[in-house]
Structure 1
Amino acid sequence: MTSRVLNLGLMKAVSDFKHISQQLSRFEDDLESNRAVRDQGGGSPQLEQDITRLEKIVEILSQDKFCYEAQILRDGAFLQRALSFYRLMILWSVNLVGGFKMPLPSQCPKEFACIPEHFLDDAMDLLVLTSRIPKALESFVLDDFLSFIIMFMGSTSYIKNPYLRAKMVEVLNCWMPQRSGLNSTASLFEGHQLCLDYLVGNLLKLYVDIEFTGSHTQFFDKFNIRHNIAELLEYLWDVPSHRNAWRQIAKEEEKGVYLNFLNFLINDSIYLLDESLNKILELKEIEAEMANIVEWERRPAQEREERLRVFHQWENIVRFDMRLANEDVGMLAFTSEQIPAPFLLPEMVERVASMLNYFLLQLAGPQRKSLTVKDPEKYEFKPKQLLKQVPYCHHLCPYLKGRQGICLLSCNLERWQSIQ
């Protein structure tokens, strides 16, 4: 009964607050883009009407957001009482499966399967909210929540909804010491035995599982979710105990989950870099159009505005995709340096060689000069850094000698070495 009341009351308000915040962010981005179009020469009556309309929407949504913040976020004691209730609910749920023990029973108990999903979903939503308010978590013990998340985050038989499991990653992401602002969260990741034993493995498993969510937006959703997972994995890599667990998983699951993880990581790296570089070429084309002032001014105002809108839209896409590409290539770099064996499996060697060829062709090949834009840092485009991070040149090429696929590498190694 209490859970249902919270679901209809507090958590409905939290959901509305989240929705308003997301809407406000989108409209602020649209307003900024329209103002940028105006500043760059667009000035049609329609554009001015759009800016005025967006300013009014932003003002209304800002007022709504402040009202929710005043009502919800400033009452830390109330939020802690709600967290205490959800902690008890978590303990009750865990008792249904035999307590805080891993691995979970192979068969999901009917009692656990009958728990309404919103019981757990609401708990995660409240944790995400309060994790962004340091005062709300002061002196609050989070160990039970952490144990619950680790136990169920990687289990499709217990929690079938991939988005609920992804929300658990979002909670952990908020708890990273560099983000939470709380010293106590470091001990959660670095001193909690269940965390040390199972967190990395379950994150890798979820990274693979999230490829197929069943949603019509699954292709784009996976990048946001994997971004959260990648940030966590990068942090955990610097913790010796977690790094050792990672090595053990790579050894035990060399042809299972870990191989799938590497394949998806390579796929994402290639896709994101390819999308980013193609959009950079299109951005450069529009930059060239604007640089020819005489021809640019001859165009109808509406056409100029449309091109500027496209320009700013692509800027945002490139910035996001390039950030994720840098992240993925960085993860390939540090994992291949310390754990080269999975990359050298017969089924991986050709993929490794093909990916290296692709990276080198894009970043050091004949078209590299065409990727020069006015402000590459604005798009987080760092070709020299990417070239240094391309892992296989540094770490895997010595191992590849005499193996299938080395012929694919040889043609570009000399080019890469000359750049270095």
Structure 2
Amino acid sequence: MSIIEDILLVSKLPIENSNYSVIKLDNDASENGTFSVEEIDAILLYQLTENEYINNPLQYLNNCFQRCQQFKRINRNNPSNEVALQEIDRLVIGYGLVILQIEGFTMNGNLKSYLKDLIANYTNYSDFLSQICKRSIIESSEFELINYFFTELHAFVRKDIIKFNLNDNKMYDAILSIFELFVSFKQIAAVFTKIDNFVSNCYALKANQFESQTLLGPILSLSPLSIDVALRNYGDDLLLEKSQQQVNMLHSSLQAEHKVVIERLFHIIDKIIRGSVESRNDLLSYFGAVVNKNHLRRGDHANSATLASNGFMSNITIILVRFSQPFLDTTYNKIDKIDVNYFNNLNLFIDLTDETRVNSDYKEADEFYDQSRKNNGEENANCKPNFISDCFFLTLTYLHYGIGGALLYDEKITPQIKRLKQEIERIKKLIETQPMFANFANVQLKEMEKNLNIIQSLKLSLKGFFSHKELQTEVFDFICGASTFFIRVIDPKHLFPFEMINLPLIPDQVGIENVDNAEYLRERAPVPFKYYPEFVIEGPINYSLYIAQYNSSPLFRNSRIHSFLEFATMILRCPEIVSNPHLKGKLVQLLSAGSMPATDNSPGFMMDIFEHNELISKNLLYALLDFYVIVEKTGSSSQFYDKFNSRYSISIILEEIYTKLPTFKEQLIFLSKNNSDFFVRFVARMLNDLTFLLDEGLTNLTEVHSIQNEIDNRSKGLPRSREEEDTELEKKLAAAERQAKSSCGLAAKSMSLFEIYSKDIPNAFVSPEIVGRLVSMLDYNLASLVGPKCGELKVKDPQKYSFDPKNLLKTLSTVFVHLSDEDSFIDAVAKDGRSFQRDLFTRAVHILGRKTGLADEEFCMKLITFANNAEERRLADEEEDQEYGEIPDEFLDPLMYTIMKDPVILPTSKVNIDRSTIKVHLLSDSTDPFNRTPLKLEDVIPNEELRQKIIQFKKDKKEGK
């Protein structure tokens, strides 16, 4: 036998017990039993097109190729076979290329039927495929090769698309290896995006079709977040049987596998990106089409079944993040390559239709860009942005709609799980109590338990994904780099971070009324940042707030977090930058999480940066106080309640930085003395909230007390004292409990700030604009806690409602003690005819001193002394009031019904009112209280004539006239 026969498995005569094919060639003229080199082509053609016993011609060629390489190694020093081996090699590879280019060339089967074996035994085919790729490049037929091959490969994967996931390691490994092999050749990578089902039909596809109907879809969907992978790893049996430690091991295993998959996907995408300018633009266009069709992933009522999956979108997000890393490293040497005017371009991959803008409407943004293009010339507008800019802004888009959609999905299914569990329990009880419904209920029960299993598995898979610290650190590092870029855009000099930026951008002296004037701020918002789509900052903020809940959060001990915190401080410090108060609310919520002490009572992980970062330490305090006031208006129907959540977060931060960082304490005291209007406005808003929250909290506790007593009485068979049925009563109890818990918790934090600040800054709490309302609040709540109706606040398990009456009483009393030396405070308490009673203070001292021991003797003495002083002042005031007798209505303040000291005329309603009264009103509402027209304090008109009349009236009464 010759080398030709042994490699090609052919002979001229039958060979016993062998799989050699017997071939008789038409032009065979040789008399010996071997084939010549000239006959190799004919042999291969016969084997592929006529030999019915070769079921898989591609496998046959591959085996011939392998034997040929083996003979090459064996016959390395035997030149007599070199010509034959080279010819076999050339023709085998050539016919391999033909099979992968021309459908129906072989006698048996086609590429579609060969793929199963190729994928199952990929490692045996890899060298052969590599040589076929090289041959196609030499013959300039690489596109014909990949277009046919990958179209069939995609059809093969689509057929088993449900099974194509991380559960089948061997299959997905082979598919990824095939992609990796082909795109490793630059000439192939350059035309890879021209394959028929790559991007050509993208714009006709629905949002959920990209994964199955585009070439890259299946491999980009390889994720632990797919339903099948989640069910297999976190399904019901595992949930019931495995400990948290075992679940964490599952997390770790899937994270390790997913990390490798991401690296391989990035390698594939990177090769295509580097293939050619055309392949790069096609790929970015593909990513753009995917995200543009999936904006509803951030919608309130998004149907996940009609949208791209979390795994698919999150994988693309992480891949884009990796492409952004080189130009967002800590040196920022390439940050100027990102085009700050990127959105002033007609050739964008991102659809900005109807997108909310940072601080403008989209029509205004379109007008700005249209004008800008006219000024710069249409030629410049039609230029393509550079890859760095495209990649950066596409990554921000995916951060919001891609991975941002995944975290929103997690937030949505959490209450679904709770509701499903409750409904399952209800049906189980129904089956026990009403057997007649058992059959029907059992069907429902099985379906619900199945759904619960799916949702719980997905919940755990999301937890595993978001606790993957290495991947999530990459995402957060991108956010930190993006934050630096945004500051650079906003910086009037555009030199940040190489030169510090000075804040605020608008001087604080512009006037208090402009701080929450939306139009004024919009006109002065930084260009072009004000025209950016809002999602470029919403995505980073949503992600950072969400990821902070994980123990493995990339925010912890991250050296780059200072960049993000600088941007956060800047947004809060300069109200003209971002108009959306909800985003600012999320920022303060995140900052509060970073300021709260850890479980070991060590400082919050952001506290060191608050103290030592120059930009933050100079501006954070003012920013927080300013936003505390501005958040009064959120623009939504729920704005009255929205503000409390933001102010609660701000209160946490203020308490932590004031008590633990001396620099901020010094700043606050300085601010209260040197910018009294600003600080008084802040205290006024604090007082408004505290007054409402305490009233709301104590009122709801009274309702809880009433309902609990009623339920207890009914259980004992006593007569009903309320009309509600038991079910309605339970609902009312639950509602009152929710309200009580929320209000009492928020009030406790605000009360804590009053206690802290009133000690060091008493003057701010006794200003004419504040002191009257402060006293009313303190006296009223003191009466609620120790007065005759205090028993109505007794509820079961008060801690459940964040209600600690003894500590609340101590805090209230402490504020009294802190302000007890202020004459105006004593005077205001004495004038509080509604709630002030000296006996209440006596009762408070008894509780704090004797019953609980919360206050020492010195504290109790100060409180009693203050009460006595206020009582003496009250008696003196009564005598003075008796001297005045009946006071003419024109001398009385129309809101407070007290005699005016400095009457002013309101410009539009023409009402006379005391200056101090209208000043207090304007701290909370910048309108005329009588006709709701806009009003500024400087617009009021002094009524000197009326003031003189009042002075004369008082004088006459004292003289007995």
TM-score (norm 2): 0.39
State the alpha-carbon separation in 2 of the partners of residues 199 and 66 from structure 1: 37
Residue among 95, 101, 116 paired with 2:501: 101
State the alpha-carbon separation in 2 of the partners of residues 216 and 53 from structure 1: 40
State the alpha-carbon separation in 1 of the partners of residues 688 and 675 from structure 2: 19
- Closer, same or farther: CA 372–8 of 1 in aligned 2, 3 Å: closer
CA contact (8 A) 1:400 1:406 kept: no
Q: Which residue of 2 aligns with 1:124?
A: 541
Please list the CA deviations of residues 317-343 of structure 1 after superposition, one character each: whole Å capped at 9, or x if unmatched: 212211111111111111111111111
- Closer, same or farther: CA 55–324 of 1 in aligned 2, 3 Å: farther
- Report matched runs for 1:341-356 at 5 Å: 341-356=763-778
User: Which amino acid in structure 1 is aligned with residue 791 of structure 2?
Assistant: K
CA contact (8 A) 1:97 1:104 kept: no
Q: Which residue of 2 aligns with 1:194?
A: 615
- Report matched runs for 1:376-391 at 5 Å: 376-390=798-812, 391=814
2:489 paired with 1:67: no
- Closer, same or farther: CA 232–413 of 1 in aligned 2, 3 Å: farther
2:643 paired with 1:222: yes
Q: Which residue of 1 aligns with 2:694?
A: 273
User: Any idea what SS the aligned residue of 1:149 has?
Assistant: helix
- Closer, same or farther: CA 249–58 of 1 in aligned 2, 3 Å: farther
CA contact (8 A) 1:31 1:55 kept: no
Following superposition, the deviation at residue 355 of structure 1 comes to 1.6
Residue among 154, 169, 179 paired with 2:588: 169
Residue among 110, 113, 121 paired with 2:530: 113
State the alpha-carbon separation in 2 of the partners of residues 166 and 179 from structure 1: 22
Following superposition, the deviation at residue 216 of structure 1 comes to 0.6
- Greater per-residue helix proportion: 1
Q: Which residue of 1 aligns with 2:477?
A: 84
User: Any idea what SS the aligned residue of 1:158 has?
Assistant: coil
State the alpha-carbon separation in 2 of the partners of residues 5 and 392 from structure 1: 50
Following superposition, the deviation at residue 349 of structure 1 comes to 2.1
Following superposition, the deviation at residue 134 of structure 1 comes to 4.2
2:414 paired with 1:21: yes
2:661 paired with 1:243: no
- Closer, same or farther: CA 358–350 of 1 in aligned 2, 3 Å: same
User: Which amino acid in structure 2 is aligned with residue 82 of structure 1?
Assistant: V
Following superposition, the deviation at residue 53 of structure 1 comes to 11
State the alpha-carbon separation in 2 of the partners of residues 387 and 15 from structure 1: 41
Residue among 388, 394, 418 paired with 2:817: 394
User: Which amino acid in structure 2 is aligned with residue 76 of structure 1?
Assistant: K
Residue among 541, 560, 565 paired with 1:146: 565
State the alpha-carbon separation in 2 of the partners of residues 96 and 144 from structure 1: 14
State the alpha-carbon separation in 2 of the partners of residues 168 and 113 from structure 1: 18
Following superposition, the deviation at residue 109 of structure 1 comes to 2.8
Q: Which moved more, 1:237-246 or 1:184-193?
A: 184-193
User: Any idea what SS the aligned residue of 2:822 has?
Assistant: helix
Please list the CA deviations of residues 298-317 of structure 1 after superposition, one character each: whole Å capped at 9, or x if unmatched: 99xx9322212322332222
State the alpha-carbon separation in 1 of the partners of residues 697 and 446 from structure 2: 32
Following superposition, the deviation at residue 415 of structure 1 comes to 2.0
Residue among 724, 728, 751 paired with 1:329: 751
User: Any idea what SS the aligned residue of 1:8 has?
Assistant: helix
- Note the aligned Cα RMSD (angstroms): 3.2
Q: Which residue of 2 aligns with 1:407?
A: 830
- Closer, same or farther: CA 205–22 of 1 in aligned 2, 3 Å: farther
CA contact (8 A) 2:594 2:604 kept: no
- Report matched runs for 1:33-44 at 5 Å: none
User: Which amino acid in structure 1 is aligned with residue 538 of structure 2?
Assistant: D
- Closer, same or farther: CA 339–61 of 1 in aligned 2, 3 Å: farther
Following superposition, the deviation at residue 407 of structure 1 comes to 1.6
- Closer, same or farther: CA 200–87 of 1 in aligned 2, 3 Å: same
State the alpha-carbon separation in 2 of the partners of residues 406 and 186 from structure 1: 39
Following superposition, the deviation at residue 399 of structure 1 comes to 0.6
User: Which amino acid in structure 2 is aligned with residue 171 of structure 1?
Assistant: L
User: Any idea what SS the aligned residue of 1:366 has?
Assistant: coil
Q: Which residue of 2 aligns with 1:160?
A: 579
User: Which runs of 5 or more structure 1 residues have no equivalent in the other structure?
Assistant: none
State the alpha-carbon separation in 2 of the partners of residues 122 and 52 from structure 1: 38
- Closer, same or farther: CA 54–418 of 1 in aligned 2, 3 Å: farther
State the alpha-carbon separation in 2 of the partners of residues 344 and 403 from structure 1: 10
- Closer, same or farther: CA 182–141 of 1 in aligned 2, 3 Å: farther
CA contact (8 A) 2:569 2:623 kept: yes
How many residues matched? 404
Following superposition, the deviation at residue 401 of structure 1 comes to 5.5
State the alpha-carbon separation in 1 of the partners of residues 799 and 446 from structure 2: 32
2:628 paired with 1:211: no
- Closer, same or farther: CA 216–316 of 1 in aligned 2, 3 Å: same
State the alpha-carbon separation in 2 of the partners of residues 93 and 148 from structure 1: 8
State the alpha-carbon separation in 2 of the partners of residues 82 and 402 from structure 1: 53
CA contact (8 A) 2:766 2:825 kept: no
- Closer, same or farther: CA 259–24 of 1 in aligned 2, 3 Å: farther
Q: Which moved more, 1:289-298 or 1:376-385?
A: 289-298
Following superposition, the deviation at residue 277 of structure 1 comes to 1.6
Q: Which moved more, 1:3-12 or 1:326-335?
A: 3-12
Q: Which residue of 2 aligns with 1:419?
A: 844
Q: Which residue of 2 aligns with 1:357?
A: 779
State the alpha-carbon separation in 1 of the partners of residues 657 and 501 from structure 2: 22
User: Which amino acid in structure 2 is aligned with residue 332 of structure 1?
Assistant: F
- Closer, same or farther: CA 191–134 of 1 in aligned 2, 3 Å: farther
TM-score (norm 1): 0.86
Please list the CA deviations of residues 87-108 of structure 1 after superposition, one character each: whole Å capped at 9, or x if unmatched: 2222221112223423143343
CA contact (8 A) 1:350 1:404 kept: no
User: Which amino acid in structure 2 is aligned with residue 419 of structure 1?
Assistant: A
Please list the CA deviations of residues 112-149 of structure 1 after superposition, one character each: whole Å capped at 9, or x if unmatched: 11222111111112212332334323444211111111
The alignment-based identity, stated in percent, is: 25
User: Which amino acid in structure 1 is aligned with residue 611 of structure 2?
Assistant: E
User: Any idea what SS the aligned residue of 2:819 has?
Assistant: helix
